[in-house]
Chains A and B, each alone.
Chain A
Amino acid sequence: MSSTASTQTGQNAQRLTLVEAIQDGLYTEMSQDDSVVVLGEDVGKNGGVFRATDQLYEEFGEDRVIDTPLAEAGIIGASIGLAQTGMKPVPEMQFMGFMYPAFDQIVSHAARLRSRSQGQYSVPMVIRAPYGGGIRAPEHHSESKEAFFVHEPGLKVVSPSTPYDAKGLLAASIHDPDPVIFLEPKLIYRAFREDVPTKPYEVSLSEAAVPRDGSDISVYTWGAMTRPALIAAENLSQSHGIEAEVIDLRTLSPLDIETITDSFKKTGRAAIVHEAPKTGGLGAEIATTIQEEALVHQEAPIKRIAGFDAPMPLHSLEDYYLPQAVRIQDGIRETVDF
């Protein structure tokens, strides 16, 4: 059982925050499989700057929870090599905004080694990175650039929005034979608790979740934006009787196209909510997919509610940059009233 086990609700589950669920997930996987190793900047003694690897160093020692030199390209390149020896590296990138030095290793090698070697070699590893805004962080600490990685064939991209999913998706990512970019919405690292089973379990990397059913519009989102989307849907149900179906994509690549289109066929309307810049964001991909698959069901233009095509501002303006519930509500109404 995890050493951060906080409020116990019995033998089988603990009430955990999202970041505690990730810590618990790492603990669970490392306990079961000696080949799983965690490496990165400050992940060892310090337990990670967000404490996602808290206590793992004490539990598993310095050969499995490894503080590396400050070098992202080195961390990912080394992980690719480690993976060739049968180890399962789970490197941490301290913030998504600091992944760029490793970009070449990720897109030129981790993503392509399988196809380049015609299936001979593969890179089973999980690159964890906190991402997104809303925590009053300095410049570069609020990036949300999932589209870079979604655009690269050979990678899987995952982003949980609940503690339960975080542990289950992390397990599925670690068991996955391909490289996974595991993006952690740090805004909701500690926002709420949820029952998380102590036993190992997986949440599939091929299924989106539908946290709210509805018949009037489909709202597609992921990560930290799932919460304002759900709040907006609830508000609109009460104030205007609009029933929005909320789809939490969970896995951003490959997309669960079936769940996406099935919902749209039911509602005929779509809004996509992401905090990343609008242009070239994942919203564009989802909108086009819907048009390709279900145009005849469409009853209104598809709406994107997104960040600006501008760098994330410093925190005095970040509330205006991120899609807040009010913006989401307005976008939904505009689409439904079209």
Chain B
Amino acid sequence: MNMKNEAGNADLPAPVRQDSELVQVLDAEGNVLPQASVPDLSDRQLLELYETIKLARHFDQRAISFQRQGRLATYAPMTGQEGSQVATSFALAEQDWLFPTYREHAAKYAHGMELASLFEPLRGYREGYAIPEGVNVMPEYIPIATQVPQAMGMAWGHKLQGKTDTAVLCHLGDGATSEGDFHEGLNFAGVFDVPAVFVCNNNQWAISVPRERQTASETIATKAQAYGIDSVRVDGLDPLAVYKVTSEALEKARNPAPGALRPTLIESVQYRFGAHTTADDPSVYRDESEEEAWRDRDPVDRIEKYLYNEGILNPDLESEIQDRIEQEVSEAIETAEQTETSPDNIVEHVYEDVPARLEEQRDELNRLREKYDDGAFSEVLE
């Protein structure tokens, strides 16, 4: 829908594009849909996209099982959402920035984070939040929607400093669209026309509260209209479609055509197959049949079928990829399980230099550790 001037008269604001149609490239069987165009990716790139999505699925399964074994604390699963996560990161250029939530494990990995570092915070080590030099990823955001105005601000900063080759991609959930921060961030993004792409991973649920309880809007994409920015709805279980719309949005953020707007809200329509986190039990609030309805559009199967259809993938290659994935995830777990820390870390990095008072607190703890040994501190508090 377009509420503004179609002719693009220079005196009037640029037209706002609202695609309420769902963009799709593949059907459930991995066939290219009649009117769709496949994004321009080489066979090698397509295989890399596929391998990363499959790795994300494997990572997710391992993480859930490790959580059950007590080797990880609470974990937020992503089964069903990997295709969108990986495809959005694939669309990023190296210099682009990523603002992830606690669920974007695969998006972070695909934009340069080490797998092992994703396991570490789940094992209780903040060390894993450290971002390697040259990787443009912010540490995960756990409070809902707080990243939205920040991502906007970073994009704005780049624009103000003339760094127009850098875009910012910010993830959020459907629940996040209810928070004030979402509205403030998008409003600023429109007012200051910043190079930012906001990806709402509409997985239909915010813990137990369904999308319909978050908003009376017909779609989440519609919300962009209130802020004068573009929006697009994409089938979030179709990695090729997600890649396509994200690449276009990022390109527009960096190099808008005359009269076009930089920011875009992408509504990636997907489904959370598993629990909200390993501490959650979805059977309390939703019907299993709902899950069934989404199953046949699974992103892993869909891209796999597409690659088979195109002759890019074959059984040998598939099992070679699977072996590589399993190896990589096992090694990451091994690395993460060797992470060590010291209680001194409590006082580190709070300020650039540890203030005297905090140093005293650390010294006092170390005095007690020496006196009573560490076992005394691990007594269950309860």
Q: Which residues of A contact B (CB under 8 A)?
A: 41-42, 44-47, 49, 67-74, 97-98, 100-101, 134, 136-141, 187-188, 191-192, 224, 227-228, 278-279, 308-311, 313-322, 324-327, 330
Contacts and interface: CB of A to CB of B under 8 A. Distances in A.
5 contacts: A68-B209, A100-B143, A309-B350, A309-B361, A325-B379
Interface string B206-228: 11110001110000000000000
Give the bracket for the number of chain B residues in contact with chain A.
35 or more
Given A138-B142, A313-B345, A314-B125, 20 more contacts: A41-B207, A46-B208, A49-B279, A67-B213, A68-B213, A69-B175, A69-B178, A70-B179, A100-B143, A134-B382, A136-B73, A139-B126, A187-B381, A308-B361, A309-B361, A313-B126, A316-B125, A320-B346, A326-B379, A330-B371
Contacts of B280: 49
B58 interface: no
A16 to B, nearest CB: 16
B126 A138 contact: no
The 7 A-B pairs at the shortest CB distance, nearest first, are namely A316-B124, A46-B208, A69-B178, A315-B124, A70-B175, A191-B382, A326-B376
B214 A70 contact: yes
Contacts of B192: none
Contacts of B144: 70, 98
A69 B73 contact: no
A45 B205 CA distance: 13
A310 B349 CA distance: 9
Nearest to B369: A320
A332 B324 CA distance: 57
Contacts of A100: 143
B370 to A, nearest CB: 12
A321 B343 CA distance: 8
Contacts of A47: 284
A310 to B, nearest CB: 5
A139 B146 CA distance: 14
A309 B381 contact: no
A320 B208 contact: no
Given A73-B180, A313-B345, A278 B361 contact: yes
B61 to A, nearest CB: 20
Contacts of B207: 41-42, 46, 49
A327 to B, nearest CB: 6
A314 B345 CA distance: 10
Given A46-B284, A309-B358, A316-B123, A69 B382 contact: no
B284 A45 contact: yes
Interface in B19-55: none
Interface string B102-144: 1000000000000000000101111000000000000000111
A97 B213 CA distance: 23
Interface in B284-340: 284-285
Interface in B328-382: 341, 343, 345-347, 350, 355, 357-358, 361-362, 365, 368-369, 371-372, 376-379, 381-382
A6 to B, nearest CB: 18
Given A69-B178, A70-B179, A311-B350, A228 B284 contact: no
Contacts of B121: 138-139, 314
Given A317-B345, A320-B377, A74 B178 contact: yes
B57 to A, nearest CB: 22
Contacts of A318: 124
Nearest to B378: A319
Contacts of B143: 97-98, 100-101, 140
B63 interface: no
A137 B379 contact: no
A68 B178 CA distance: 10
A178 B73 CA distance: 39
Contacts of B285: 45-46
A227 B121 CA distance: 29
B180 A101 contact: yes
B126 A69 contact: no
B377 A308 contact: no
A138 B368 contact: no
A322 B381 contact: yes
B165 interface: no
A41 B209 contact: yes
A20 to B, nearest CB: 16
A321 B346 contact: yes
B236 to A, nearest CB: 19
B340 to A, nearest CB: 9
Of B125, B209, B372, B379, which is in contact with the most chain A CB atoms at under 10 Å from its CB?
A: B209
A4 B207 CA distance: 23
A136 B278 CA distance: 13
A188 B382 contact: yes
A249 to B, nearest CB: 19
A326 B372 contact: yes
B381 A70 contact: no
B269 interface: no
A315 B73 contact: yes
A70 B347 contact: no
A309 B179 contact: no
B204 interface: no
Contacts of B142: 138-141
A37 B381 CA distance: 34
Given A187-B381, A320-B343, A330-B368, A309 B357 contact: yes
B73 to A, nearest CB: 5
Nearest to B339: A316
B380 to A, nearest CB: 9
B151 interface: no
Nearest to B279: A49
